[in-house]
Amino acid sequence: MTDNKASTIAFAADGSTLRAVVRGDGSYASTLDYWRRIAAELRERHPHGLLLVDETTGEPLSAAQWQTLVETMSGEGLERVRIAHVKPFGLQHIEYCELFAREAGLHARVFTNEKEAALWLRYGERSPPSA
């Protein structure tokens, strides 16, 4: 587990997936900090997927803040893994994060249900069979 004054992260390996549970303040500064700590863990462990269970609280980030966050994290290694970002307390505008992440070339989705997120990480989106 890693922590700072604003948030804590508990990391656990689950096969080829890194599971990270984040709790604490959901401010922009705290969110940027926990993404940097997650990126460092990803570089150390080299998983194929990230299951992030985001239990942060407080005012949700704005669309502009999500875009800045995605741009700031560019090149930190997130592009090498599938990312399932779970907000069990509600999406709180996080759909912007998915849109900006996909525009930046990341393979990421947001969910409110951890089981659905884990299934997506395991099986992904399947292409329809060709006719």
User: Residue 125: what pLDDT?
Assistant: 54
Contact (Cβ atoms closer than 8 angstroms) between residue 37 and residue 69 = no
CATH number of 2-123: 3.30.750.24
Strands 107-111 and 49-57: what pairing? unpaired
Beta bridge partners of 15: none
Lowest-pLDDT range, 58-62, 78-82, 114-118? 58-62
pTM: 0.85
Give residue limits of the domains in the chain: 2-123
E runs forming strands in 1-125? 2-3, 7-14, 17-25, 49-57, 82-86, 107-111
pLDDT band at 103 (very low <50, low <70, confident <90, very high): confident
